[in-house]
Amino acid sequence: MSRRTKSVRAKGKISLSKYFQEFKEGDFVAVIRERAIPVNFPERLQGRTGVIGGKRGRSYIVNIADASKKKVFLIEPIHLKRIKVNSKEEIK
């Protein structure tokens, strides 16, 4: 079984607590794609980390450093996972 697939009991299910999770501005998040829902961001963002810059509608503005450039993406909360960072410095 590859790492890309869900377990048999979790297939097709959407976690409501993940769908309605809330973030504050400045929180560090990882982009983890939920396969049961279509996404509107590039596949290369899978596994990247970024900083929440605000909220627009039900999506969050995520600032991600792509190579040497800062980029902004709108991502729904079901595709995000809060991470702990030891220092409050920006992730490079």
pTM of the model: 0.79
Mean pLDDT, residues 85-90 taken together? 66
Largest CA distance in the chain: 40
Domain spans, the chain: 16-82
pLDDT digits (tens, 9 = 90+) for 3-59: 667 778 777 778 788 889 999 999 999 998 887 887 777 888 888 999 999 999 999
What was the pLDDT predicted at 31? 93
What was the pLDDT predicted at 83? 93
Q: Is the pLDDT of residue 73 over 50?
A: yes
- CATH number of 16-82, picked from 3.40.50.1100, 3.40.50.2300, 3.40.50.300, 2.30.30.70: 2.30.30.70
